[in-house]
Structure 1
Amino acid sequence: MQPSDIRVAIFSGNYNYVRDGANQALNKLARHLLDAGVTLRVYSPTVARPAFEPTGDLVDVPALALPLGRDEYRLGLGLSGGVRRDLAAFAPNLVHVAAPEITGHRAVSWARRNGIATVASLHTRFETYARYYRLGMLEPLMIGLSKRFYNRVDRVLVPSPSMGEVLRGWGVTTPISIWSRGIDHARFNPARRDLAWRRSLGIGDEDVAVSFLGRLVLEKGLGIFADVIAELKRRGVPHKVLVIGDGPARGWFTERVPEAIFTGFQSGDDLGRAVAGMDVFFMPSVTETFGNVTTEAMAAGVAVVAARATGAVDLVQQGVTGFLVPPTDIRAYADAIQQLVEDPALRRSAGEAGHRAAQRYVWESANQAALEAYLEVLAPQQSVDCRA
């Protein structure tokens, strides 16, 4: 089988209406697939003013806004009659589902009834979200539902080995392949550092900017970040707080870290400049499956302090490119950051080591691995067709 023989229907809970790492990865994969000759069609909730233009043909699926103050996201409600007719006309030989929500389950069921191969990609640790919204008792249920979902498909694509280990721990027995992530190395590199830009924000050349990068949502560990900054202040550790990004929790975060310098949402080369302007990248999130922002910081030559959790454990080399800390240990986070603040040589060497380590993350090879997984999943189906 050749890539040109593949007709894939991709189901996403958010393909382009809100910009995040998951949907940007899906769009980059779609571009790689199209360039390789694959025919694809994407099914996702849509909005009137999406964050960016979609790659490939996009079909709207019925959805409702999420509750709990997260109405920027949509919950797909399944396959309407129109979507089913569109699917039948498209006639895919592979269904790729990117989220274990209602529409994702219905898409897998449709594929199984029609004898179509299925792939699921895992982008976010949704089971961890419950603890950030005082719904921790739901976490075991969400793990159980996720286990059932990923055991119904023919292949699971995970972005990191640590995430594969988590799935095995849940009891997922489906074959697993790694679909890693890449970096735009022209955008994220130490040469983008701009001291004049930092000065314009009130960050002096000798100041150490302890920084957050990403969407401002509670599940990114904003509460831990704020507590650690408070501990650094209590210790009298000199630093500035630089926050790159925006989101629904910005007001809450501003109250918790009032001295922080907020750049707002950054994109393109402005984002590359902002990332290179950091001195220590602090990522206490345990919801990451890979950590796109961590690799971007590393590529820009920035030392990293991160939670010892999925994603980061595959990226950060302890004591070399930064430090991994037990996820809720405020004192240990503060110890690691204080060490980097007070030891410029260590901070510099960690950044340089991170820059070197990040060079292995390239979109072309990462997306090619996903395409090869598609071909492997479809190979048995081709053998059956040939015997028929």
Structure 2
Amino acid sequence: MRIAIVTESFLPQVNGVANSVRHVAEQLSRLGHQTLVVAPGPGPTHHLGTPVTRVRSVGLPGYRSFPVGLPDAAVERSLAEFAPDVVHLASPLVVGAAGLRAARRLGVPSVAVYQTDVGGFARYYGVRADLLLDRWIGHLHRRADRTLVPSRASHDQLERLGVRDLHVWRRGVSLDLFEPDRRDPARHAVLSRGGRDLLVGYVGRLAPEKEVRRLAVLSELPGIRLVVVGDGPEREWLGRHLPGAHFTGRLGGSHLATAFATLDVFVHPGRHETFCQTVQEAQASGVPVVAAAAGGPLDLVEHGRTGLLVDPDDPLSLWRAVAAVARDAPLRARLAAAAHEQVQDRSWPRLVHDLVEQHYRAVLVRHRPAAA
């Protein structure tokens, strides 16, 4: 099968969309499919044998390191030359809209993957375009042949926008990378001041929509040390308000996996996640999770069994949950063990196999009679 992936973000960017596209492209190639990636911004023009067509972009105001794609004739030209069987639209917005339009003109079926709540993102930043963006997202997904969503919350959100043929397709996790054996006792001893403190960590972009400022309440909790992995526009504020915290900066690969596994508790305070991949990575790493009871984490965390969920509207709920697991080592062990077992069937090879067999093939079968 020939699959063209049109995405709003790709390497060298590090975010949920770019990472999932990378995994999908790699697994499709391993399965023997031919792939093309169309993406905005400067970057490599090949990735492990997959050609990458680069289209025009601009830096996001206030976040210049994040390129936003522009409408570009190169999208349709590259798709026409590649002649795909299916067009995969990863979090379509601008480049994805051009990819959808090209797919319809070329008579090629499309599968759209919803991954970013752009309207919610705009609302959080006070941009008065949230309703317009919601309508645009709904319009794009209604025109795609099939839409895949990462969680029940996202399913409900798009259903309210009038999108049909919705299917839950979650994200995979690299089980060979994120695993408990990555724990580094020597590093833990140094960061925990010889074992006197529990290491409570956050991993992800340090951005306002992640609500990372809620971590400040944990700096008042005795017997813990905060570990913050990542970078972004909130780094300076966090540095001032999290005394004693250890900031690693952005990590990847084995360094990231070691950082995860060396934590005693993982926290994610934000309520705007359509999925929340870092929760899965923490669970695969054998680390108990405390996350906001909203969006994607509702599907990933069973409260009291595979982690703890906290009220995102109660500023002290995060403090109470972390305090509870901090003083109860058997609880931490039970939550970590149950969550680790739960994610063992969520590998990327399995998820991409389902993507091909359940979703790509479905739109191809449905499209062929119409084309005939």
Distance 2:185 2:321 in 1: 25
* Structure 1 match to 2:130: 139
Instruction: From 57, 67, 71, give the equivalent of 1:78.
Output: 71
1:8 corresponds to which residue? 3
Is 2:206–2:234's contact at 8 Å kept on the other side of the alignment? yes
Preserved CA contact (<8 Å) 1:203 1:209: no
Equivalent of 2:168, from 169, 178, 182? 178
C-alpha distance in structure 2 between counterparts of 1:103 and 1:360, whole Å: 32
CA distance in 2, matches of 1:203, 1:100: 46
TM alignment of 1:306-345, pairs within 5 A = 306-345=291-330
Structure 1 Cα separation of the partners of residues 315 and 222 of structure 2 = 15
Q: Distance in 1 between matches of 2:284 and 2:43?
A: 35
* Residue 212 of structure 1, aligned match among 192, 202, 213: 202
SS at 2:136's partner residue? helix
**Partner of 1:26 in structure 2?**
21
Higher alpha-carbon deviation: 116-125 or 89-98: 89-98
Q: Tell me which amino acid in the other structure corresponds to 1:86.
A: S
| Displacement after TM superposition at 1:53 (Å) | 4.5
Q: 1:36 aligns with which of 21, 31, 36?
A: 31
Residue in structure 2 matched with residue 122 of structure 1 by the alignment: 114
Aligned counterpart for 1:380 among listed residues 349, 363, 366: 366
TM-score normalised per structure 1? 0.89
Q: Which secondary structure state, in structure 1, belongs to the residue aligned with residue 326 of structure 2?
A: helix
- Partner SS for 1:309: coil
Shift of 1:29: 0.9
Q: Once structures 1 and 2 are overlaid, which stretch shifts more, 257-266 or 367-376?
A: 257-266
1:195 to 185, 194, 199: 185
* Contact kept? 2:17, 2:115, Cα under 8 Å: yes
Give the aligned partner of residue 218 of structure 2. Answer: 229
User: Secondary structure in 1 aligned to 2:88?
Assistant: strand
- Residue in 1 that maps onto 2:101: 109
Contact 1:11 1:42 (C-alpha < 8 Å) held by counterparts: yes
Q: What residue ranges of structure 2 are gaps of 5+ in the alignment?
A: none
Query: 2:316 is paired with a residue of what secondary structure?
Result: helix
In the alignment, residue 22 of structure 1 is paired with which amino acid?
Answer: V
After superposition, give the CA deviation of every residue in 1:86-118 in whole Å (9 maximum; x if it has no partner): 322222232221133222112212222332211
Whole-Å separation in 2 of the counterparts to 1:284 and 1:342: 20
Q: Deviations over 1:141-167 (max 9, x none)?
A: 322221111111100112233322222
- Cα root mean square deviation, aligned: 2.1
Letter of the 2:161 partner, please give it: W
The alignment's TM-score, normalised by the length of structure 2, stands at 0.92
- Report the secondary structure of 1:306's partner residue: strand
- Is the Cα–Cα contact under 8 Å of residues 224 and 328 in structure 1 kept in the other structure? no
Deviation at 1:297, TM superposition (A): 0.8
Does the C-alpha gap of structure 1 residues 48 and 191 become closer, same or farther in structure 2, counting only changes over 3 Å?
A: closer
CA contact (8 A) 1:308 1:325 kept: yes
- The answer on whether the counterparts of 2:192 and 2:198 sit within 8 Å (CA) in structure 1 is no
Aligned residues of 1:75 and 1:101 also touching (Cα < 8 A)? no
The answer to whether the aligner puts 1:152 opposite 2:143 as a matched pair is yes
Preserved CA contact (<8 Å) 1:16 1:54: no
SS at match of 2:227: strand
- In structure 1, the gaps of 5 or more residues are 1-5
C-alpha displacement of 1:347: 1.7
Residues in 2 aligned to 1:49 and 1:222: alpha-carbon distance in whole angstroms:
31
Assess if the C-alpha contact under 8 Å between 1:128 and 1:286 holds in 2: no
Per-residue deviation, 1:48: 5.0
**For 1:330, what is the secondary structure of its paired residue?**
coil
Q: In structure 2, what is the equivalent of residue 56 of structure 1?
A: 50
**Number of residue pairs the alignment of both structures matches:** 371
Letter in 1 for 2:6: F
Quick one: which of 344, 347, 359 aligns to 2:332? 347
The match for 1:296 among 281, 285, 310 is 281
Report which structure shows greater RCO (CA 8 Å, sep ≥6).
1
User: What SS class does the counterpart of residue 188 from structure 1 fall into?
Assistant: coil
